[in-house]
Amino acid sequence: MYLRCFFVLTLLPLLDLFLLVFLIPSFVTITWTVLSGMMGASLFYVQGRLCWKQLSQNPANTGVFQAFSSLDSAIILVGAALLMSPGILTDLLGLLLLFPLSRMIFVSYVGIKLQAAERSANHSESSTKKPDTIDV
């Protein structure tokens, strides 16, 4: 886990900086940064409204659909934040998280991981549960 955080918080911005400064001309870099920020804000607005509409259509929604809709909203928020931050790699990942088709892949992947984590937590909780009676 520490190595993943180190990669995301240190190496990824350094790679973005290298790509933006050394490989791409400055005019293209500035244009890309401004356009990706504008695109991130507009996609966040449109997809966020669609997601909110989906959540509020039937307030009695429970279970898996409600959980996946909430997860969809969280992924939209992360995608927009990535798009509004400078960097080519973060922009590409943000775009992937904001487009509905690729977002569904991320939602199903994260949903499967969360279900597996919940099952393992429930299993470890049930295996460490102590009996209520004591044999003497």
| pLDDT, tens digit (0-9, with 9 covering 90-100), for 68-106 | 677 887 888 888 878 777 777 888 888 888 888 888 898
Residue ranges making up the domain that contains 53:
2-126
| 122 domain residue, yes or no | yes
> CA separation (Å) from 84 to 25, 107, 113, 118?
20, 21, 27, 32
Global confidence as pTM:
0.61
DSSP type of residue 56 = H
Number of domains in the chain: 1
The string of pLDDT tens digits covering residues 29-63 is 778 777 877 877 787 788 778 777 776 776 555 55
Alpha carbons 58 and 2: distance in angstroms, whole number = 41
Q: Measuring CA to CA, which residue among 97, 88, 87, 90 is closest to residue 48?
A: 97
For the record, the structure tokens of 8 come out as: 């995301």
Residue keyed to tokens 């997809």: 47
| 136 domain residue, yes or no | no
| 88 domain residue, yes or no | yes
CA atoms within 13 A on the CB side of 102: 10
| 132 domain residue, yes or no | no
| 133 domain residue, yes or no | no
